[in-house]
A and B are shown apart, each in its own frame.
Chain A
């Protein structure tokens, strides 16, 4: 079975600081990995995805993530936080044969001025 662990239910940063949201996965087969963002009372928006091409994946809004097989990690980063980045972030894993996403419990990003 696949699973995702997101370390830290809340992460606080100052505007302009580095954002680092951690995600570790477990999968018996080569995975697809995703980061989604959710703003209050809204659905999920796809930030970026890893589907076995380049291990460093660039997404929208300046976010990127690096797939590290040896560490079973797919951490999300952004060099400089903006107030508009405050939201809930979900990491998800899928095997390549099926379209079911398994989500982590989410990390709430708080950005202070």
Chain B
């Protein structure tokens, strides 16, 4: 059973560019959340997708947007990249009501903005 998979694993972009990160949830999971983890910090919640809609959003600007597809996979898009967007981006999937079963994370995408 494949867990949560993310692509690419590493990415280098220039300031002002746009980036798309991808995530496939664990089999049987229908909810995908995205987190940003800056160096030396805990992960910060960006947003959550369920039934192809954004259900919750953290304190991130509109430059961060996402999408969920009918097969439950998801994309995170970041426009007009800033140096401060350099971080590990984590995707987490979950199923069932709330988080009673926990959230399962992928290996992350390391984004470096130069």
Contacts and interface: CB of A to CB of B under 8 A. Distances in A.
Interface of A: 32, 34, 36, 41-46, 49, 51, 90, 92, 94, 96-106
Interface residues of B, number: 27
Contact of B56 (A44, A98, A105): A98
Contacts of B6: 43
B108 interface: yes
B3 to A, nearest CB: 9
A99 B43 contact: no
B59 to A, nearest CB: 11
Interface in B1-21: 4, 6
B98 A94 contact: yes
The 10 A-B pairs of least Cβ separation, nearest first, read A103-B42, A44-B105, A43-B105, A43-B107, A94-B99, A51-B100, A46-B102, A43-B108, A100-B45, A96-B98
A34 B107 contact: no
Given A42-B107, A43-B107, A45-B105, A101 B43 contact: yes
A69 B107 CA distance: 33
B87 interface: no
B54 to A, nearest CB: 12
B103 interface: yes
Contact of B31 (A34, A49, A99, A106): A99
Contacts of B58: 100
A42 B108 contact: yes
14 contacts: A43-B105, A43-B106, A43-B108, A44-B105, A94-B99, A96-B98, A96-B100, A99-B98, A100-B56, A101-B99, A101-B103, A103-B43, A103-B44, A104-B42
